[in-house]
Amino acid sequence: MSYDLMAFDPLKAPADKETFMKWYEQQVAWQEDGNYSDISVASENLRNFYIELTQSFPSMNVDEETFEAMEEAGTDNRLTEYGIREESIYVSFAWSIAEEAYSTMRELAEKHKVGFFNVSSTEGEIIVPE
């Protein structure tokens, strides 16, 4: 089980919650043979957001040497799974870093003017930049 958040392109996502949730379901309809690691498909704001977020929470798609070094340093819990689409980036963190992940991702979403959806929250908090 993971702690999941999502950043999204506010110009592509529906404004009302009911329609947003239907759109969200389409965003997470992962295909078995899909490539969800190519950041070049995302909007410029989402790309900039991703680049900065991965500085704190590296993609778990690292080489074995990097993984072993992180494991030895005790920072392998920071390895994060990213599902990248044209209109959104779905991010799965370890629960042990949930608070830091939430605050960092929310801050970066605001900075890069992308939307923020707290997937793991019971309220399903959705924040759209002004």
pLDDT tier at 102 (50, 70, 90 boundaries)?
very high
- For the question of whether the overall pTM of this predicted structure is more than 0.75, the answer is yes
Residues 57, 113, 88, 107, CA torsion sign: positive
Strands 126-127 and 81-84: unpaired
Residues 6+ apart with CB under 8 A from 130: none
User: For residue 1, what pLDDT is reported?
Assistant: 76
- Which of 59, 99, 130 is closest to 118 using CA atoms? 99
Task: Report the alpha-carbon distance of residue 105 to residue 47 in Å, rounded.
Answer: 14
Tokens of 68: 């072993």
Task: Report the alpha-carbon distance of residue 42 to residue 120 in Å, rounded.
Answer: 23
pLDDT tier at 27 (50, 70, 90 boundaries)?
very high
